[in-house]
Amino acid sequence: MTLAHKFLLMLVLLALIGDGLGAFYLWRLRSDVQEFSSMFLAAKNTSLIVGSIQDMIFQDSTKPAAHVTGCNCTASGYDRLQWEHSKGLAFLREIEYKEGALVIKRAGHYFIYSKILLGEIHCGGERNGFLKQTVFKVGAAYPQPIELMAVRKFFCTGENTDQWLDNSYLGAIFDFSEGDEVFIKITEKKLLRISNDAETFFGAFMV
């Protein structure tokens, strides 16, 4: 076998190894997506959700993570939701907070999640109204907000009471570059119910 043939064989082997590692990584990532999403979207117990998220985040303290909680606060010029990022259960680890957005400092795949408590005590004429909660990202490569995931819900449903209460869940894995920002908007902010850190929250952690 000539030197050229040996070199070509080495390149082929390296390509096959690379394909194998890539396929394994995609398989692991797909498994993580299914595990995280199934746990988060299927759970109905708020304490269970928060506890499960904390377990995942603190399994590897070397990876970036952030968890921010609901607050009755506003930022001038921004219609995105604002969050408490330094008190109570909130924390930032290698992720920054900027005017309602989580700012990614290390590129990679992140599980993005949110839970929002919604309610109305006097539905009145707004019965069977409609709202949309959306998670967006912006970055140097795409200055206009890109919709990552969204949920549409009817509110003030039912005919037996003027009171309505529900939760809105979102969670999935996405790829982010350094400097990307991820944030949430909701069409009916008046329905937000901020009661405690476990009822309304938003976060991200690298997988």
Q: Under a CB-based contact definition with an 8 Å cutoff, are residues 85 and 73 in contact?
A: no
Give residue limits of the domains in the chain: 1-42, 46-206
Q: What is the pLDDT at residue 47?
A: 52
Q: Which residue has the tokens 């408490």?
A: 84
Return the amino acid letter for 7: F
Structure tokens at 151: 């949920």
Assigned fold of 46-206: Jelly Rolls (2.60.120)
Q: What is the C-alpha end-to-end distance of the chain, expressed in Å?
A: 44
Distance of CA 138 to the CA centre of its chain: 14
Q: What is the pLDDT at residue 40?
A: 52
Q: What is the pLDDT at residue 180?
A: 97
pLDDT per residue, tens digit, the chain (207 aa), is 554 443 344 433 334 334 443 444 444 545 555 555 555 555 555 555 555 666 666 667 789 999 999 998 876 667 899 999 999 989 999 999 999 999 999 999 999 999 999 988 777 666 667 889 999 999 998 889 999 999 998 888 766 567 788 888 898 899 999 999 999 999 988 888 887 888 899 999 998
- Helix, strand, coil abundance in the chain, percent, nearest 5: 30, 40, 30
Q: Which residue has the tokens 């399994």?
A: 59
